[in-house]
C-alpha cells in the first residue's frame, strides 16, 4: 500500500469519482471496507507479524476507504514533526475514532509513534489485537491518580525506546473543543522527559460518535477532515505558557476552519445569473 503523498508538509485528497451507491450509502460502504481492514490487521497482529509498516499501510487503507465515499482530507504542518530530532509528544483535541485510525498514516512513516488510549480499546473483539501490538499507554478513565502515574511511567518507557506519543488531554471525544477540559498532562509528560510538543488541531466530526456504539457513527462526507500540526514547543518552568499556546493554536485553527466553511456555504447559496 503506497504511503500518502505529501508536498511541503501538506496532503490534500485527490479528486476521484464516487459511485452512486457510495454517495447514497456512505456509512454502509465504508464500514464494510473498514471491517475487513481491521480483520486483516488483527489476523496479522495475532501472529506477531503486524509491524509499524503494516500499521501505517492499514491506516492508509482507511483513508482510501473514506475517500472512496467522498470524504476529503486536508493535512498541514507535517514538516513540524519532521523537524524534531528524536521523539516528541503530539498533543491535540479529540473528536472521534477517525484520528486514531488515520494519524498512523501521517506520522508513522517519519517517526515511530504510539497513542494514549482508553483501556476498553484493548479489550474490543478483533480490534484489541491491533491495538495491543502497537504498545499503547492504556488508561482507565475512572482512576485519575492511577491513570496519571501510568501515563508518566508509560511515556518515559516509550520515549526512552525512541517512540513519539499522541496524547488527547480532553480525555473524552466531543465535537466542540473544551479548553477547560484540556488538562496539562501533555505539558507534564514533555517537561519530565525533556521532549518537545508538536501541537495538533483537528476536525474529524465527519466520522461522529455513534448512538449505540460510539465508534460507529453515521458518516458525513460533506464535512472536510482537517489536521493541522503546529511549530514545536519546548516546555520551560511550570509549562503554563506552553499550555496556553496549545489551547490558542487549537482554538485559532478551528476558528479559521469554521470561517472557511461559512464562506463556502455562503458562496453555495449565491444566486446565479444566465448570460447571453
Between β-strands 73-76 and 164-167, what pairing exists: parallel, antiparallel or unpaired? unpaired
Question: Which segment of 60-64, 109-113, 118-122, 237-241 scores lowest on mean pLDDT?
Answer: 118-122
Report if pTM > 0.75: yes
Domain range annotation of the chain: 11-264
CA dihedral sign, ordered 22, 28, 32, 33? positive
**Higher pLDDT, residue 29 or 145:** 29
- The CATH T-level fold of domain 11-264 is Glycerol-3-phosphate (1)-acyltransferase (3.40.1130)
Cell of residue 19, nine digits: 459511485
Give the start-end residues of each E strand in 35-99. Answer: 73-76, 89-92
Categorize the per-residue pLDDT at 262 as very low, low, confident or very high, splitting at 50, 70 and 90: confident
The CA distance from 17 to 33, in Å, is: 17
In tens, the pLDDT along 170-228 reads 878 888 999 999 999 999 999 999 999 999 999 999 998 766 666 677 999 999 999 99
Categorize the per-residue pLDDT at 265 as very low, low, confident or very high, splitting at 50, 70 and 90: low
In tens, the pLDDT along 99-126 reads 999 999 999 999 999 999 888 778 887 7
Amino acid at each position: 500500500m503506497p504511503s500518502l503523498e505529501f508536498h511541503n508538509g501538506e496532503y490534500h485528497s485527490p479528486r476521484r469519482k464516487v459511485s452512486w451507491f457510495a454517495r447514497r450509502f456512505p456509512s454502509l460502504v465504508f464500514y464494510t471496507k473498514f471491517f475487513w481492514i481491521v480483520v486483516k490487521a488483527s489476523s496479522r497482529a495475532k501472529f506477531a507479524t503486524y509491524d509499524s509498516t503494516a500499521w501505517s499501510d492499514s491506516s492508509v487503507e482507511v483513508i482510501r476507504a473514506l475517500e472512496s465515499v467522498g470524504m476529503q482530507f486536508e493535512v498541514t504542518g507535517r514538516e513540524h514533526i519532521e523537524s524534531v530530532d528524536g521523539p516528541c509528544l503530539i498533543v491535540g483535541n479529540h473528536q472521534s475514532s477517525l484520528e486514531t485510525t488515520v494519524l498512523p498514516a501521517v506520522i508513522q512513516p517519519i517517526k515511530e509513534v504510539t497513542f494514549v488510549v482508553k483501556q476498553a480499546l484493548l479489550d474490543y473483539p478483533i480490534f484489541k489485537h491491533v491495538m495491543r501490538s502497537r504498545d499503547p499507554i492504556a488508561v482507565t478513565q475512572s482512576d485519575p491518580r492511577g491513570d496519571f502515574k501510568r501515563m508518566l511511567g508509560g511515556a518515559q518507557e516509550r520515549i526512552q525506546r525512541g517512540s513519539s506519543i499522541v496524547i488527547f488531554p480532553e480525555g473524552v471525544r466531543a465535537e466542540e473543543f473544551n479548553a477547560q477540559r484540556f488538562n496539562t498532562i501533555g505539558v507534564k509528560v514533555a517537561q519530565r522527559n525533556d521532549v518537545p510538543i508538536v501541537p495538533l488541531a483537528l476536525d474529524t466530526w465527519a466520522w461522529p460518535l455513534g448512538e449505540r456504539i460510539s465508534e460507529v457513527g453515521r458518516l458525513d462526507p460533506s464535512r472536510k477532515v482537517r489536521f493541522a500540526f503546529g511549530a514545536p514547543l519546548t516546555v520551560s518552568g511550570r509549562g503554563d505558557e506552553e499550555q496556553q499556546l496549545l489551547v490558542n493554536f487549537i482554538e485559532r485553527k478551528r476558528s479559521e476552519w469554521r470561517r472557511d466553511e461559512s464562506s463556502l456555504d455562503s458562496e453555495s447559496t449565491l444566486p446565479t445569473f444566465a448570460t447571453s
